[in-house]
Structure 1
Amino acid sequence: MARPAAAGKLVRLLDRNALSVPQMTKATRWQINRRLCTKPPEGSAPKPSGFKLPGHKPSEWDKKILVWTGRFKKPEDIPETLSFEVVDVARNKVRVRISYLMIALTIMGCVAMVISGKRAVGRHESLTSMNLEKKARLREEAQSTLAKP
């Protein structure tokens, strides 16, 4: 019975020293921000969103990417400077196409390995049998070298 009394004393001691919930709510004043709820004045123009670079001179590799993605028909059609966003979109398209190509190659490789494995089973080849044959051959060689003085 002494323990619950000690626990009660501890809780009262901590409660006295800590801020209670009503004290916390009285001390803080929440300011309501209504900037997102108000409409902008009708005469003001919307601010441009995002940061745009004035121009980007594409390299030869960028020109190949722009032609390959279909943005331009020929490398001669590409202007001296482009916005960075145009080049970035073309690079992203190439990135996605390469990832699709890698996925397709991975699936084809898996199918080829399954077919190869099934053919090996048909020929009664397995790693276990290959290891047993190798060990038997090594034993024979070891015995033949021991037999010859």
Structure 2
Amino acid sequence: MSLLRHIASRGFLPLHSLRSISTIRVMCDKSAVSSSEKKVDDPMRILQDGRNHRPDNMEKRFLVWAGKYKSLEEVPPTVPQETMEKARNKIRIKIANYMMLATIVGCIGFVYSGKQAAKRGESVQKMNMDWHKQINETSSK
């Protein structure tokens, strides 16, 4: 606590926060947890702790697509949270890679299409001039 007082006296930490730090230490004391809360035998308690996850149908497909399980039938009713997070991360990376590939293919396709239109003599400037000519003709009638 003397280090915190020293930091507070130098102006890096407000003095009133010293009281809140000691309160936080009391609130985060692990010995205050009752023995009934420490039991982990109940499967629902494991789910509430966040160590296991009950995947839905889409998440089961993610687990299979990420390569953790061979088929949907092999996916257990509860999966460790770390496994689910790793599968989600793999799916995010795969989707990002496919989106990059689709973007590159789309860009190449549009470049090719633009070059073909240029060979035919089509351009945005020519289309704009034709549109203005058509508007001027209809307004003069």
Which of 103, 126, 145 matches 2:123? 126
Task: Give me the CA root mean square deviation.
Answer: 1.8
Which of 46, 63, 66 matches 1:66? 63
Asked if residue 56 in structure 1 is aligned to residue 53 in structure 2, the reply is: yes
Structure 2 gap ranges (5+): 1-9, 11-48
Deviations 1:19-40 (A, max 9, x none): xxxxxxxxx9xxxxxxxxxxxx
Return the alpha-carbon distance in structure 1 between the equivalents of residues 123 and 97 of structure 2. Answer: 33
The two structures have a TM-score, normalised by structure 2, of: 0.62
Return the alpha-carbon distance in structure 1 between the equivalents of residues 51 and 84 of structure 2. Answer: 13
Q: Amino acid of the residue matched to residue 72 of structure 2?
A: P
Asked if residue 142 in structure 1 is aligned to residue 135 in structure 2, the reply is: no
User: 1:142 Cα shift?
Assistant: 2.2
Structure 1 gap ranges (5+): 1-27, 29-51
Change (3 A) 1:134 1:84: same
Return the alpha-carbon distance in structure 2 between the equivalents of residues 117 and 54 of structure 1. Answer: 54
Structure number having the greater helix percentage:
2
- Count of paired positions: 95
Identity of aligned residues (%): 36
The two structures have a TM-score, normalised by structure 1, of: 0.59
Return the alpha-carbon distance in structure 2 between the equivalents of residues 121 and 61 of structure 1. Answer: 46
Asked if residue 103 in structure 1 is aligned to residue 125 in structure 2, the reply is: no
Change (3 A) 1:142 1:55: closer
**1:78 aligned partner:** 75
**1:113 aligned partner:** 110
Return the alpha-carbon distance in structure 2 between the equivalents of residues 101 and 130 of structure 1. Answer: 35
User: 1:93 Cα shift?
Assistant: 0.3
Larger radius of gyration: 1
